[in-house]
């Protein structure tokens, strides 16, 4: 049995730990206060409106990867809305401009094409470039925005063709779950190699992937690097983390439905890696389970698998102090980042409830889902 159970009325459920979220936000607040930078929430990683009143108290706004995220940021979060897309469509640019304060382009061709419309709307432009900094990403080439075949950002050799008089923000996103050495390294790399271009803009956005709430991340080192950069170039600095803001601030809670014996015993759960934690299969990684250890650490070993038809829909192999049985609760840690935003109903699997674990220890349902949500999408 796990030492911890959560008082949810049904599973699967994503449980947002409000106290942990606030603690994470305190790190962002300190970075902002001590370095003078702005911090935006990258809504691609987490975008649950029920938490926005808390997040909005600290963060400066949101950054969107597409139209719907921009609309969500504008309608539900408020404050600043930044947008980056690898390419915009002619018919949607006006809608984007109605929602965003700052619109970032991925090519000089798109920047030139849409510049008159952006100016007419009185909005600000950014240009994303590829700083060629691949040192601090997890997950290999799949997650390296600076890889030689990356489609993100203009290349350094194109920088001279940018109409700088019309560009407000220089943007680079190069990190994935990077510790302070990655964040500081990126800031120093850009400062050292791209000075003439930094001098042409009002702000530099160092993207996401700064894993500021991970144990061992030296927040003071990041603050120092931002302060030095701002002092050297007299520009505003923006960070747009996603995952780090909700890192370890919630759970995916499941129930054991049955135990399937084979060479290894599988505990079949009502949660699915494919549907509810897809990155764990894609990156891949084995998500932590509260009260469980690596195989062999405790006497009772199990694979934790889903009830979908996909053979590989397995969270991983774990060991438990006691045998598992139907009805036991399984709590996956770090259950929020990139999970709620990517969840699917493959196989007719229900979407997990979204639950707030309030500071008084009580769970509050923020949103439940049902057959209608599945049916609607199928047309």
Ligand X SMILES: Cc1ncc(COP(=O)(O)O)c(C=O)c1O
Q: How far is the CB of 126 from ligand X (least distance, A)?
A: 11
CB of 50 to ligand X, least distance (A): 19
Q: By C-alpha distance, which of 297, 315, 320 is closest to 254? A: 315
Q: Which is nearer to ligand X, 21 or 45 (CB)?
A: 45
Binding mask 172-191 for ligand X (x = CB under 6 A): -x--x---------------
Q: Judged by CB under 6 A, which stretch of 72-80, 133-141, 242-250, 368-376 contacts ligand X?
A: 242-250
Q: Is the dihedral of CA 228, 231, 233, 236 positive or negative?
A: positive
What span, in angstroms and rounded, lies between the C-alpha atoms of 326 and 339?
Answer: 25
Establish if 207 lies at the interface with ligand X (CB under 6 A): yes
Residue closer to ligand X, measured from CB, 154 or 324: 154
Is the peptide bond preceding residue 12 cis, with omega within 30 degrees of 0?
A: yes
Q: Which is nearer to ligand X, 8 or 172 (CB)?
A: 172
Q: Interface with ligand X by CB under 6 A: which range of 26-34, 37-45, 86-94, 325-333?
A: 37-45
Strands in the chain per DSSP E: 13-17, 38-42, 61-64, 80-84, 102-105, 124-128, 169-171, 203-205, 236-239, 250-260, 266-269, 300-305, 314-320, 329-332, 353-357, 363-367
- What angle is formed at CA 62 by the lines to CA 58 and CA 64, rounded to 5 degrees? 165
Q: Kindly state the number of chain residues that form the binding site for ligand X, as judged by CB under 6 A.
A: 14
- Judged by CB under 6 A, does residue 244 bind ligand X? yes
Among 8, 21, 42, 136, binds ligand X (CB under 6 A): 42
How far apart (Å, rounded) are the C-alpha atoms in residues 372 and 377?
9
Task: Specify the DSSP class assigned to residue 318.
Answer: E
Q: Output the smallest distance, CB 40 to ligand X, in A.
A: 8
Do 185 and 222 touch, CB atoms closer than 8 A?
Answer: no
Binding ligand X by CB under 6 A: which of 16, 20, 25, 45? 45
Rg value, the chain, Cα: 22
* 172 Cβ neighbours under 8 A, 6+ residues apart: 128, 129, 130, 131, 133, 153, 186, 190, 204, 205, 206, 207
| Residues 352, 363: Cα–Cα separation, whole Å | 14
Q: Is 61 an interacting residue with respect to ligand X (CB under 6 A)? A: no
Q: Which is nearer to ligand X, 43 or 329 (CB)?
A: 43
- Binding part of the chain for ligand X, among 116-124, 157-165, 205-213, 354-362 by CB under 6 A, reads 205-213
Contact with ligand X (CB under 6 A) among 73, 243, 316, 350: 243
Angle at the Cα of 282 from the Cα atoms of 87 and 314, rounded to 5 degrees = 150
Q: Which of 131, 209, 250, 335 binds ligand X (CB under 6 A)?
A: 209
Name which of 244 and 273 has its Cβ closer to ligand X. 244
| Structure tokens given for 157 | 């050799």
Least separation in angstroms between residue 263's CB and ligand X is 37
281 closest CA partner among 142, 374, 175 = 142
Contact segment (CB under 6 A) with ligand X among 203-211, 248-256, 257-265, 268-276 equals 203-211
Q: Rule CB under 6 A: is residue 241 a binding residue for ligand X?
A: yes
| Least distance to ligand X, CB of residue 177, Å | 6
Q: Summarize as ranges the residues that interact with ligand X (CB under 6 A).
A: 42, 44-45, 84, 173, 176, 207-209, 240-244
């Amino acid at each position: 049995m796990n030492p911890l159970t959560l008082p949810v009325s049904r599973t699967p459920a994503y449980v947002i730990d409000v106290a942990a979220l606030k603690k994470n936000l305190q790190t962002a607040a300190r970075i902002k206060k001590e370095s003078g930078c702005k911090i935006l929430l990258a809504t691609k990683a987490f975008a649950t409106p029920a938490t926005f009143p808390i997040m909005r108290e600290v963060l400066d706004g949101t950054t969107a990867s597409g139209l719907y995220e921009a609309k969500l940021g504008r309608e539900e979060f408020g404050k600043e809305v930044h947008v980056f897309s690898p390419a915009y469509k002619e018919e949607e640019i006006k809608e984007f401009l109605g929602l965003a304060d700052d619109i970032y382009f991925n090519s000089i061709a798109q920047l030139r094409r849409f510049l008159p419309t952006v100016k007419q709307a009185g909005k600000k432009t950014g240009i994303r470039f590829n700083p060629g900094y691949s040192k601090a990403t997890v997950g290999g080439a799949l997650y390296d925005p600076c890889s030689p075949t990356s489609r993100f950002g203009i290349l350094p050799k194109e920088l001279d063709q940018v109409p700088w008089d019309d560009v407000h923000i220089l943007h680079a996103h190069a990190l994935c779950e990077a510790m302070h050495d990655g964040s500081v390294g990126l800031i120093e790399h850009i400062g050292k190699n791209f000075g003439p271009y930094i001098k042409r803009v009002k702000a530099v956005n160092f993207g996401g992937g700064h894993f500021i709430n991970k144990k061992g991340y030296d927040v003071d080192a990041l603050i120092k690097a931002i302060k030095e950069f701002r002092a050297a170039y007299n520009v505003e600095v923006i960070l747009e983390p996603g995952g780090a803001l909700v890192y370890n601030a919630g759970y995916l809670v499941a129930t054991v439905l049955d135990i399937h014996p084979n060479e290894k015993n599988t505990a079949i759960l009502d949660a699915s890696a494919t549907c509810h934690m897809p990155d764990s299969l894609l990156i891949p990684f084995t998500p932590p389970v509260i009260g469980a250890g690596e195989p062999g650490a405790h006497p009772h070993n199990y694979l934790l698998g889903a009830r979908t038809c996909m053979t590989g829909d397995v969270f991983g192999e774990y060991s438990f102090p006691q045998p598992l049985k139907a009805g036991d609760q399984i709590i996956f840690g770090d259950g929020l980042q990139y999970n709620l935003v990517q969840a699917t109903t493959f196989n007719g699997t229900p979407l997990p409830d979204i639950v707030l674990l309030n500071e008084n220890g009580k769970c509050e349902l923020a949103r439940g889902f049902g057959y209608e949500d599945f049916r609607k999408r199928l047309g």
